[in-house]
Every structure is written in structure tokens, then in C-alpha cells.
Amino acid sequence: MKVRSHITQNEALLFEMGSPGKVGYQLPSLDVPAVDAVAALGRENVRAEIEGFPEVSEVEAIRHFTRLSTWNYAIDLGLYPLGSCTMKYNPRVNELVARLDGLAWAHPYQPEALAQGAMEVMARLEAALAEITGMDAVTLQPAAGAHGELTGILLIRALLEKRGNPRKKILIPDSAHGTNPATAAIAGYTVENIHSTASGMVDLAELERVVDKDVAALMMTNPNTLGVFDDNMAGVAEILHKKGALVYMYGANMNALVGIARPGDFGVDVMHLNLHKTFSTPHGGGGPGGGPVAVKKILEPFLPAPRMKRLRNRWAFDYKRPRAIGKVRAYYGNFGVIVRALAYILAHGGDGLRNATVDAVLNANYIRRKLEPFYDLPYTAPNMHEVVFSDDRQAKLGVRTGDIAKRLIDYGFHPYTVSFPLIVHGALMIEPTETESKLELDLFIEAMTAIAKEVETDPQLVRSAPHSTRTSKVDEVGAARRPILRWKPRETGSQTAD
């Protein structure tokens, strides 16, 4: 197969490129008298130079940062097969709408009378998410998925406290997302694990046995981290509700359900959504995110303040919420992300959102069928938006999932999710999302197939990967224990970490 490649060259640090006297600009002589900066601003506010600041020309600065930008893999370059992360393309129309002056420059402290358009955007997104999830109310405050999780569990705690007992435990299936136990602990609960059946679903018999008066809720990822939809969901909810407990659904994988199934219809009491995963707002990089929480009516009084309410012909913020758990985010959520999510929903419409879901499921199952002859599939239940293989076949020849992932870099692809979920030993977790074409999927499948064949003919080639990167394979244990890098040229002309 054709291997993607691009020209690489050693890149000095900007500080190493600089030399005294170089400047990145040239200005004409002043046509007005010069001002003494010290006299005008005060000596304490003026410095002659910035110590160690690199002095480079304009073209050096441009080329340096442009070359650095080509070193980063990005969704604009190719597929991100990261399972459970839903790293899909963000349509540019979302960005265009978010940059409209009236929205981009709206200030959170401006009077309500001047914020009616922004409030309408938030109200429409809340209504759309409530309809999509089958829930009764939505808060847009949480700034990310894990933040939404915590908000949801705090809502459950508030309701149970009002009933007289917050209870002590949260049940979490072994196929749930890894942040769930941390969320439960931060909210003051202990965690009890629930084992999955051979098909990757919650064991109803075990659940019936462990749910008692101390259980506050079950935190369930559905579809779970195996890419499997738990069709026992209604039964799960019935068991919890019968014992006075609630059902929390981790909604990061809602990408597989939108337009097809609504969690509120099969017994979920509270859930969060990842706007960057399901509704295509920017993902990662430490920037703003969105983790709205949707709830049933019994939890609505406890939602963070303020809530929007409709007065005759305008929107207003309602701060008089005596049962609210308090603010969980400054202002009203990450507004730019909210705008992008609503733009995505309105651009697709109901049928378009459903089609996106169908395409996501189709793409995942296409990869599953094509790669099943080459990689072990420990759970054979029907897949939704992602598929989880194991490295069992390759491990017999001394090649593990991390080796395969690094070899994939040589083929021009970002690695899949490695060694997760933990219930699959040596997991290869792959999620193509709905935004990828058959051509891109076929290139990825060819690469994964070629690597599987390399393992059989030359396992050391895979074990020693990557070979085409600036950095050779590192000692990961040593790097984690001693994260200090010293760079030196490799014979190939690229660089390596010592």
C-alpha cells in the first residue's frame, strides 16, 4: 500500500536560530517627535530588552512555525481512530456562526435586555438536547464531560438528601468509562464494581443482588466502552428504581444513539453529553468544552442556578433556586461551544442527525468486518460506533497493542486507543466516526492489515516502530520516571530522545 509521508528536517529551537540585531519588522522613520518612554511611562514600566528573547527575521519566524504546524497530526489531515473519543471533523459553518460579531463579542455581564439573542441560542440548544435525549430539562453550565458527570451525581445526591438519606454507594459496571469512579469518589460516594456478562452487558442477576438501601445510583456508559449497546437497559432501570436508586448514563457515546433511541425513554434519570463528541464542537487541546446535563423532572429543581425562564416576550435569568446545587461554572457555560453545537444541530436537522448516527455505526461495523480476519474480537455482540479488538494473536509473536499503534504512525495514521477498556487485555479500540469516507477507511484498513502481516513475517520491525518519525521508540517506563529529554541527531538526519 502507499504510505503517507512528508518531508521532515531537523528544526532548531527559535532561541537557537536567533542572533543579535535580527528583527521581524521594518518601520519608516517617525514623522513626529520621538517620546522618551521612560519619562512617559516610568522607569519601572520600561525595559531595554527581554532577557534571552530570540531575535529572528520575519521569514524565519513564519517558516519555523509553519514547519512546526506540519509536525502535528490533525483532523484536517486524516482519520483519528481513537475509540470513545469521537474525534470527528468540525464543520466550518459552526466556526463561521460562532464568529458572528453579535455572538462572538457578547459580554456575559451585559444587561439581559441586550442578551436576548444569546439567551435564545441557549434556550434553543437546551430544548434540542432535551428532545434528542428524551429528558425534561437541560443545564448548559458544565464545561466538559467529566464536569457534567460530577454535576449529575451531585444532582442525585441533592435529591436523595431531600428524601432524607444521600446513601453511600455508586455502582459502576466494568465496561463503564474510566472517569466514572473518580466522579463518584469526588461526590462523596464509595464505588462498587459490577461485572459484565460474556456479551459485554450488565449482569441483571448480579445487579439485583447488590442493589440495596445504600446504593444511590448506577453510573452506566451506553453504548459501553466495548462499543456494545446494553439492551437490558430497561431492566437495569427497573431494578434501580424499585430500590429507590437512580440511573445515571454517561452520554459520551450518544454519537451512536441520536435520532434512533432516547435514554429518557428507557429509564435514565440523568445524563451528560459531550458537545465535542456528539455535536461536533472543537475537541481537546485544553480549550473550552461543553458537558450539558439532561435530567428528568424529579431532578430539575436541583439544577445549577441561574436557570432561564420565559417572561411574556423576553428571556430572563432566574437566580431564586433554593434547591439548586449551586453554580458549577462561571456565567452560563462556554458560550462559543454552545453556539457551535446549535449550529451543528440546525444544519443537520432531525433526519440529518439520524443519518450521522447511522453512518457512524456503519463505519465502525465496516472496520470490524474487514479487520476481524486479522485481529481477535473478544466480544462479538453487535457493535455501535466503535469496535474493540485485542492483541491476542499478535502477542503470541511478542507484539503488543502499543507496538502496533506505533507502527501505525509509520503508515501516516494517528494511533487508535491503546489498552482500553481494561476488561479487554491488550485492547485496540477503534472509532471511525461518521465523518470518514470509505476511501479513508479503506486506507486505514489497509494499514492495519499490512501491520498484521508484518507481525507474522518480521515482528521485530513492528516492535521497534516507529521508524519514520523524528523521535525513535522511547523507553516509556524510563520517560515516565525521568521526564528529561536531551536531543541528539540520528544517523537518518532526524532526532532522537536520549
The whole-angstrom distance between residue 87's C-alpha and the CA centroid of its chain comes to: 7
Q: State how beta strands 314-318 and 307-311 pair.
A: antiparallel
Which residue, 298, 318, 347, sits at the end of a domain?
347
Phi, psi of 138 (to 5 degrees): -140, 140
Q: Which of 36-40, 51-55, 355-359 has the highest mean pLDDT?
A: 355-359
- Shared domain for 241 and 366, answered yes or no, is no
Q: Average the pLDDT over each of 68-82, 148-162, 254-268, 328-342 and give the range with the smallest value.
A: 68-82
Higher pLDDT, 393 or 492: 393
Does 338 map to a domain? yes
- Shared domain for 138 and 223, answered yes or no, is yes
- Shared domain for 244 and 174, answered yes or no, is yes
- Once rounded to an integer, what is the mean pLDDT over residues 284-288? 66
Are 151 and 139 spatial neighbours (Cβ–Cβ below 8 Å)? yes
Higher pLDDT, 73 or 155: 155
Residue 420 DSSP SS3: coil
Does 151 map to a domain? yes
Does 100 have pLDDT greater than 70? Answer: yes
The C-alpha cell 481494561 sits at 422
Q: Which domain holds residue 443?
A: 357-497
- Once rounded to an integer, what is the mean pLDDT over residues 439-462? 98
- Shared domain for 153 and 296, answered yes or no, is yes
Per residue in 112-150, pLDDT tens? 999 999 999 999 999 999 999 999 999 999 999 999 999
- Shared domain for 120 and 59, answered yes or no, is no
- Once rounded to an integer, what is the mean pLDDT over residues 302-318? 95
Does 22 have pLDDT greater than 90? Answer: no
Q: Which of 329, 265, 237 shows the shortest CA–CA distance to 132?
A: 265
- Shared domain for 101 and 211, answered yes or no, is yes
- Shared domain for 100 and 211, answered yes or no, is yes
Residue 221 DSSP SS3: strand
Does 3 map to a domain? no
Does 296 map to a domain? yes
**CA–CA separation, 363 and 445 (whole Å):** 11
Which residue, 294, 316, 347, sits at the end of a domain?
347
Neighbours of 25 (CB within 10 A): 6
For the chain, helix, strand, coil in percent to 5 are 40, 15, 45
**8 — pLDDT class (breaks 50, 70, 90):** low
Question: Considering the chain, what percentage of its residues have pLDDT values greater than 90?
Answer: 73
Does 307 map to a domain? yes
Torsion angle of the four alpha carbons 178, 183, 185, 191, in this order, in degrees rounded to the nearest 10: -50
Buried b (16+ CB within 10 A) or exposed e, 118-150: bbebbbebbebbbebbbbebbbbbbbbbbbbbb
- Please give the pLDDT value at position 469: 84
The C-alpha cell 429528558 sits at 135
**17 — pLDDT class (breaks 50, 70, 90):** confident
**CA–CA separation, 364 and 229 (whole Å):** 13
- Shared domain for 306 and 369, answered yes or no, is no
Per residue in 170-204, pLDDT tens? 999 998 888 899 999 999 999 999 988 888 899 99
Phi, psi of 147 (to 5 degrees): -65, -40
The count of structural domains within the chain is: 3
- Shared domain for 30 and 131, answered yes or no, is no
**CA–CA separation, 123 and 329 (whole Å):** 17
CATH number of domain containing 241: 3.40.640.10
* Amino acid code (one letter) for 38: V
Helices (H), 164-203: 179-186
Cell numbers representing residue 347 in the block: 444544519
H or E element in which residue 271 lies: strand 270-272
- Once rounded to an integer, what is the mean pLDDT over residues 291-320? 96
**CA–CA separation, 312 and 196 (whole Å):** 51
The answer, as to whether pTM is greater than 0.75, is yes
- Shared domain for 335 and 388, answered yes or no, is no
Does 18 map to a domain? yes
**CA–CA separation, 346 and 121 (whole Å):** 11
- Shared domain for 43 and 114, answered yes or no, is no
Residue 388 DSSP SS3: strand
- Once rounded to an integer, what is the mean pLDDT over residues 105-111? 92
- Once rounded to an integer, what is the mean pLDDT over residues 80-100? 91
Does 5 map to a domain? no
- Please give the pLDDT value at position 202: 92
Q: Which of 170, 253, 147, 195 shows the shortest CA–CA distance to 422?
A: 195
- Shared domain for 130 and 165, answered yes or no, is yes
Does 206 map to a domain? yes
Q: Average the pLDDT over each of 146-160, 195-209, 384-398 and give the range with the smallest value.
A: 195-209
Angle between the N-to-C axes of helices 335-371 and 438-457, in degrees from 0 to 180, rounded to the nearest 10? 50
